[in-house]
């Protein structure tokens, strides 16, 4: 009870207190926990704050707010059923939670202190052992693995450590939206190529293909890297071996690096190849992975990059001057969980593989729902996202803001129907937005009850109730 009354009390008292003196306010960096008070104080603060002439650093030129800023906020403000942002709304596996409890109650005080900068020893050892098995090669845990704050920081470290001004980086659309701004921040030049559907009415992620000639035309002496995201977010495409071979051959021919973002590596229905396992690709591939994805704990924000020592060394230089290390207790818990998973590989209780089986049922449930309301889903081969074609919807979008049509449709569906999704054109460059505008992205790593609630709302709309 006290924990509920206390924040409100503090706010009531502070309304008339020293906290509201303008000079004290402008020196406050932390706000008290009542939201009404926070907003009032925030307004107060911004009235007080004078701008100086300091603009952003040049490297931020052209950077915009990401799609998540608007749509995560809209989803929470409208209290919509959230099929937008990619996170599970169910519990993490028991053994991961138990590992965290064991760490929290451990008598080893060092588990709460800084650990090795490039990755907690137990964690990098577990990663090297697991991926050694998966990739069929020996991986040096100290030299060929780098732990980061989520796969996001792995990507950032890769771009910052390897891309120089003027270097070109090939991005395949639709792409996870942070690639483009990260390349730009490194002062590189993104070059785009879209996966094209081979039919007018694609129904599977497999129907989207790379045009080998178009791709080969993008490679030149400035091409430093290509980013391959398999399984892909938002499309759910899992690249076939022949497609990876085509990319690998171009990388080798033009001496280009391959950044292989494989965070959804275990969410496959079925069949995923690690790019680094293709002949002669280990030495030019950086594989990006995420504990958040594989253990359904996105809040852990722990990721890693695996690759040859001469490239990982550059990432270490960025890492040691950036976050320096990642949280020790979380790394210890993930290490213990990876060790357990490794002992369960190939068995039914292995979470890495059993999650995909559960997700396949959810995928089919969502696909049936979308067909039931007259949309055409693009069935993903991997990941936990599904695109649906909304181009034929005839909605009154006059009060749904501006921007591409899919942005307006997502705003309309979120506010009018109470189901949050993500516009697909956010995963395309400015010139190619029209390719993505036809689709919106649904996330299906959700409790069945959440999917049922969304179904109820969408079916009511379909029935005109
Ligand atoms: C393709 C892709 N790469 C990287 C990330 C970042 O993963 P993390 O949460 O581990 O930072 C995401 C998260 O959604 C993603 O979809």
Per-residue pLDDT of the chain (465 residues; tens, 9 = 90+): 334 443 433 333 333 333 333 333 333 333 333 334 444 444 455 567 888 888 888 888 888 889 999 999 999 999 999 999 999 999 999 999 999 999 999 999 999 999 999 999 999 999 999 999 999 999 999 999 999 999 999 999 999 999 999 999 999 999 999 999 999 999 999 999 999 999 999 999 999 999 999 999 999 999 999 999 999 999 999 999 999 999 999 999 999 999 999 999 999 997 678 999 999 999 999 999 999 999 999 999 999 999 999 999 999 999 999 999 999 999 999 999 999 999 999 999 999 999 999 999 999 999 999 999 999 999 999 999 999 999 999 999 999 999 999 999 999 999 999 999 999 999 999 999 999 999 999 999 999 999 999 999 999 998 886
Q: What is the pLDDT of residue 40?
A: 47
Residue 261 near ligand 1, beta carbon < 6 Å: yes
Query: How many other β-carbons are positioned within 10 Å of the β-carbon of residue 291?
Result: 29
Mutate-to-test residue for ligand 1 from 67, 233, 265, highest number of ligand atoms within 8 A of CB: 233
Ligand 1 center to 152 CA (angstroms): 6
Q: How far apart are CA 143 and CA 313, in angstroms?
A: 8
- C-alpha neighbours within 13 Å on the C-beta side of residue 233: 23
Residue 67 near ligand 1, beta carbon < 6 Å: no
What's the whole-model pTM score? Answer: 0.88
Query: How many other β-carbons are positioned within 10 Å of the β-carbon of residue 7?
Result: 14
Residue 377 near ligand 1, beta carbon < 6 Å: no
Mutate-to-test residue for ligand 1 from 263, 267, 305, highest number of ligand atoms within 8 A of CB: 263
Max Cα-Cα span within the chain? 71
In the numeric block, the tokens 């996202």 are attached to: 385
**344 Cβ contact partners less than 8 Å away, ≥ 6 residues apart:** 350, 351
pLDDT tens-digit map of 351-402: 999 999 999 999 999 999 999 999 999 999 999 999 999 999 999 999 999 9
Cis omega (within 30 of 0) on the bond before 61? Answer: no
Structure tokens at 93: 């596996």
> 3-state DSSP helix/strand/coil percent for the chain, to nearest 5?
50, 15, 35
Mutate-to-test residue for ligand 1 from 176, 234, 387, 443, highest number of ligand atoms within 8 A of CB: 176
Residue 152 near ligand 1, beta carbon < 6 Å: yes
Of the candidates 143, 182, 145, the residue with the CA atom closest to the CA atom of residue 62? 182
Query: How many other β-carbons are positioned within 10 Å of the β-carbon of residue 95?
Result: 17
Q: How far apart are CA 160 and CA 193, in angstroms?
A: 22
Residue 86 near ligand 1, beta carbon < 6 Å: yes
Residue nearest to atom 9 of ligand 1 (CA): 150
Give the 3-state secondary structure of residue 309.
helix
**112 Cβ contact partners less than 8 Å away, ≥ 6 residues apart:** 328, 329
Residue nearest to atom 16 of ligand 1 (CA): 233
Residue 154 near ligand 1, beta carbon < 6 Å: no
Ligand 1 center to 263 CA (angstroms): 6
Give the number of the atom of ligand 1 that is nearest the alpha carbon of residue 292: 10
Residue 85 near ligand 1, beta carbon < 6 Å: no
User: What values do phi and psi take at 327, rounded to 5?
Assistant: -55, 125
Q: How far apart are CA 284 and CA 307, in angstroms?
A: 8
CA distance to 63, 228, 232, 406, 419, per residue, from 177 (Å): 12, 13, 12, 16, 22
Residue 150 near ligand 1, beta carbon < 6 Å: yes
Ligand 1 center to 86 CA (angstroms): 9
């Amino acid at each position: 009870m006290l924990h509920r009354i206390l924040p409100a009390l503090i706010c009531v008292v502070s309304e008339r207190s020293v906290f509201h003196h303008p000079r004290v306010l402008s020196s406050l960096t932390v706000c008290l926990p009542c939201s009404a008070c926070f907003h009032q104080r925030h307004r107060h603060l911004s009235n007080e704050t004078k701008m100086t002439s300091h603009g952003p650093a040049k490297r931020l030129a052209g950077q915009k707010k990401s799609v998540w800023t608007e749509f995560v906020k809209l989803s929470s403000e409208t209290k919509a059923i959230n099929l937008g942002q990619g996170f599970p709304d169910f519990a993490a596996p028991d053994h991961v939670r138990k590992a965290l409890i064991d760490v929290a109650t451990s008598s080893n005080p060092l588990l709460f202190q800084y650990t090795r900068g490039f990755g907690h020893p137990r964690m990098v050892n577990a990663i090297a052992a697991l991926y050694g098995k998966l990739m069929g090669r020996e991986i040096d845990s100290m030299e060929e693995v780098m732990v980061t704050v989520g796969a996001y920081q792995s990507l950032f470290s890769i771009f910052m450590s390897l891309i120089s001004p003027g270097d070109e980086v090939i991005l395949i659309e639709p792409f996870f939206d942070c690639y483009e701004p990260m390349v730009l921040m490194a002062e590189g030049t993104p070059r785009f190529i879209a996966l094209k559907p081979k039919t007018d009415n694609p129904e599977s992620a497999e129907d989207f293909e790379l045009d080998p000639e178009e791709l080969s035309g993008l490679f030149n002496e400035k091409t430093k890297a290509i980013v391959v995201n398999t399984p892909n977010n938002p499309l759910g495409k899992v690249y076939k071996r022949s497609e990876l071979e085509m990319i690998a051959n171009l990388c080798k021919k033009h001496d280009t690096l391959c950044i292989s973002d494989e965070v959804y590596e275990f969410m496959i229905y079925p069949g995923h190849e690690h790019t680094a396992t293709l002949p002669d690709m280990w030495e030019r591939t950086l594989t990006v992975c995420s504990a958040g994805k594989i253990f359904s704990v996105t809040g852990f924000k722990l990721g890693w990059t695996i690759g040859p020592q001469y490239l990982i060394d550059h990432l270490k230089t960025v890492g040691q001057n950036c976050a320096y290390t990642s949280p020790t207790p979380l790394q210890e818990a993930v290490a213990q969980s990876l060790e357990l998973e490794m002992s369960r590989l190939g068995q039914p209780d292995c979470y890495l593989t059993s999650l995909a089986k559960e997700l396949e049922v959810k995928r089919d449930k969502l696909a049936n729902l979308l067909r039931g309301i007259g949309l055409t889903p693009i069935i993903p081969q991997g990941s936990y996202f599904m695109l649906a074609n909304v181009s034929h919807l005839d909605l009154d979008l006059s009060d749904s803001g501006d921007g591409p049509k899919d942005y307006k449709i997502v705003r309309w569906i979120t506010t009018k129907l109470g189901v949050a999704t993500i516009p697909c054109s956010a995963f395309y460059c400015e010139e190619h937005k029209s390719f993505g505008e036809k689709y919106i992205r649904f996330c299906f790593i959700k409790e069945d009850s959440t999917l049922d609630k969304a179904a109820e709302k969408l079916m009511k709309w379909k029935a005109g109730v």
